[in-house]
Structure 1
């Protein structure tokens, strides 16, 4: 797990832009993510920013997000969005949220395995630079798999949708940075919300 987190941080810090290639699965009915801070575990060991603070789960209207960049590291592709509160009040999001990718027909595609309970929460606060909260994505470049072959790819994906207890939060990919994932076999994408402690 430590290697995955390190790879994610390397990708987030990478300034090189690359055309990402990968794939997805058709699942038009995203599962609702129901959670309450009182009922779920807050585990401070999950990441430096996952701390047991008394914050409410973020609602879609509580958040803003901006795309940072794509990068490559250790044979993987990845990218990140910077998350921030829409107002002054901080809130919390799951460290490993349930997500769907939105294609050009509006279908929701699932490339991410759901993380087992208990849900760990990461605070989203007003912060600058590397102290901000980031939503990161990472998948394999399959460079070390000579037998790997993708039979079918998605069209360029428009957005990624994060399931929150109060409803979905949509993060749009810029027109010149829309990823293409392998749909057959379905690519597996690792997602994580990371933040430094206050």
Structure 2
């Protein structure tokens, strides 16, 4: 709503208070203003979801046991919120070896897999689903290189981790991978579809 519209409706509200006892008087007051302004106000109040393609893309982010133990969960969540992504799923759990074997199915034959399994079951994990435009790739950049020694300052791993064996977070590496991991960690009812009031200013 532009400045003129705000002034108009402020005036309606101020004068409308004087006519609370008469609906006819209130309707009469509103009728003095151009219908285009009133229609514009109604449209703004019922704006449809953004038409920007890919805004509903989702990715999975998990704060690993070392991140939880070091009380980094809040700071990590804040980074994605400040970037403008929408949190649609969140849970804390002690991960089972069965779930991890599915999540890391491509790594099960690697020599480091037993130590990875021990690490990921050593404490609780906080797992999240974030939604937004190009969220998979953007979150990968925000998280930083798998090896913290190669991660840029300003990334999660660049700021909070020093060794690849304790790299604080996991982030889905592709759109297909994100879809698979989200289905693995969350049931459909665990994810919320809600309207984020700032998306209009963020994406349009």
TM-score relative to the length of structure 2: 0.22
Q: Which has the higher contact order (CA 8 A, sep 6+)?
A: 1
Higher strand share: 1
Higher helix share: 2
TM-score relative to the length of structure 1: 0.23
Bigger radius of gyration: 2
